[in-house]
Structure 1
Amino acid sequence: MVKRQAPRPAEVLELLRFKRFEFDGRKRRLESALTVQDLRRIAKRRTPAAAFDYTDGAADGELSLSRARQAFEDIEFHPSVLRDVSTVDTTTRILGGTSALPFGIAPTGFTRLMQTEGEEAGAGAAGAAGIPFCLSTLGTSSIETVKEANPNGRNWFQLYVMNQRHISYGLVERAAAAGFDTLFFTVDTPVAGARLRDKRNGFSIPPQISLRTVANTMTRPWWWWDFLTTPKLEFASLSSTGGTVGELLNAAMDPSIDYDDLAEIRKIWPHRIAIKGVQNVEDAKRLADLGVDAIVLSNHGGRQLDRAPVPFHLLPEVVREVGDDVEVMIDTGIMNGADVVASIAMGAKFTLVGRAYLYGLMAGGREGVDRMIEILSEQIVRTMKLLQVTSIEELEPKHVTQLTRFADLRPRGAGER
């Protein structure tokens, strides 16, 4: 029998450890976030539906996005044992330079609508963390402003080739003059995808005030205060910003772009070039033969063609075919540091995060982006230690199995030319 005794006050006091109350609401929110999904929940509470859904949503039935995320959930890790992993090195080399972590911030459009600190917060956080930042053609901060926010870090520029080619060429020249070291030529956007959430929300640039938007924002007055008391939105390229998002995207994109446009851009751009939006092996091989520096396997976050290939599923075959000739990168669906580790293990040289970055931004501005990077970094380090690898270079396909839910029922040779 256990001997009972009256509680002793001194022993009870030893158990009482009260956490100091944090009076800064932003810090308190961000400290409570342990995952990117936590940041997403905070972002949803603090952002009007139209702006949040622009980030959170995808095209049509959003199957491409859900499948991409499911692909990362359907992995099995295979750890080693009895290895010293007291320290791990997350540094990697990509596109001629170093990154402190195996991920960078992907290009996102209309970013200051999500939270007014916008690309400056993203670029500053990336620079502080030692990772690359990529500015979108449809970004809401200029090339030069991003350079000021991240003067010593790695800045990349994502290009849409528009029907008015001189606009695109001018952007390329400005990015080169500002010291951006890599151009991301996006090739999966001949037209805008069917962003149904945006249509249902009446999402437009700039936001249009209606009874519905007033009702939705009554509980989020801080967002409107920020929006109305900060400088007017400025785009990296567009001089006219009226209309729906789809109308803006269709004005900025050109369904006639082809390999001749790629050749022309390469004449203008003096540094490394990556082709973003590759979705099959055949195109990857052709681009490798043309001597591009990198390809990004991406279905645009599920925001263009719904039911497009899942980049993580496509990764092993592409790496086998072209991995010795170009650097293969991946985006879409990455919400955890374990997703990053799995991608690197399956052959990706680097990864990009878009929604995770915007969730952090909406949750807490620059500090929110810092917190997002911190969360992913902690998850990467912990996953590497549990796999018992000490560096990015040690990650191999043997560490990961891609479990599958769907059978490919195409007859042998289907889809090949």
Structure 2
Amino acid sequence: MPGALPLGDPAPADGRLPADLEIDATAPFSAYLHVPFCRVRCGYCDFNTYTATELRGARQDEYAETLMREIDLARDVLEAAGGIRPLDTVFFGGGTPTLLPPGDLARMLEHAVDAFGIRNGVEVTVEANPDTVSPEVVRTLVDAGVNRLSIGMQSAVPHVLAALDRTHRPENVETAVHAAREAGLDVSVDLIYGAPGESLADWEASLDAALSLEPDHISAYALIIEDGTKLARQIRRGEVPAPDDDLQADMYELADSRLAAAGFDWYEVSNWARGSEQGSVSSHASRHNLAYWRGSDWWGFGPGAHSHVAGLRWWNVKHPAAYAQRLHAGESPAAGRERPDQEAQTLERVLLQSRLAEGLPISEIAESHRSRVAELISDGLVDAAAAVRDRRVRLTLRGRLLADAVVRALTE
């Protein structure tokens, strides 16, 4: 089941922002639209998603109308705070957004564009399960303004998909990519490595299959066992083995080598884009996710969605029924909010920006910890040239494998 919401201060029923919040109305702004529906719950997943038996009265066919109420609320709240501005990126995530009729996704996008406007070159991404993508679906999304499709491939090996409780057929990934390509969309595929029973050869087969599709972008995430998931219970009972850290490291190195040879450059520890130059960000990188990693502003719409504006963070109630109830009562769905102090903000900047190929400015590190950069260079975790020339912490390949250790060294 989904994890718990964070602790925080109560959020006001009208959703209003603090009067002393200083919003930069020229800064980038993004929208995340959460669609919390799935046909089945994957064994590793602790995202805020719900199958049909878990909805408790919430209705998928009314979801678009409900979410559009939150868009109206956001427009009014930001306008009152002097922070309304056009959207740089829009991202439909889940769950499985393409479980909704494509016309519903189109209506939500149109409503967001009407409320905020968009900047030239806006990036609009929809996540999709391969089994829910067809030429008809893609055409509707393109006509609505979607220009990027992120396809949940995860693996090309049937027994690995089974271990992850993924239900799509591997051949449908190719069908989905082809439909997106025919419509002129940028295409990203997501992979997961380190599943129970997955060998290095299995992982190599999945990488080869993904590269054969010639996508613009590939995400490759190490499987993490989250408390409360089916997979965590299976491991605890000894039914399946826990992920092997050394094997996952070998898998990461193999991915980086294969992707680099195919013309992909890493721009974040788990993300590679085609056609970028060393030290720059490819036009195929996920600009929406870069907004998170760079600490930009965004409003998260939907149950359990999180938002960030000018240093203020808040999060919505989790269940779709509670979310709908609040909005239909004319209230904000926000469950709580917080304003992290300077120490917490520094930790977050180091945690997120150090994962980027563009690197973390050394000036963002607490002065008392800057001397540790030299130690990290000596340990082979940080690139010496980038630190001296650009005054940035840029991870080496070994540093990417030990990114958490780098963050600890720069913050503890």
- TMscore range, shorter length: 0.3 to 0.5
Richer in strand (by share): 2
Higher relative contact order structure (alpha carbons within 8 Å, sequence separation ≥ 6) = 1
What is the TM-score with the length of structure 1 in the denominator?
0.40
| Greater gyration radius | 1
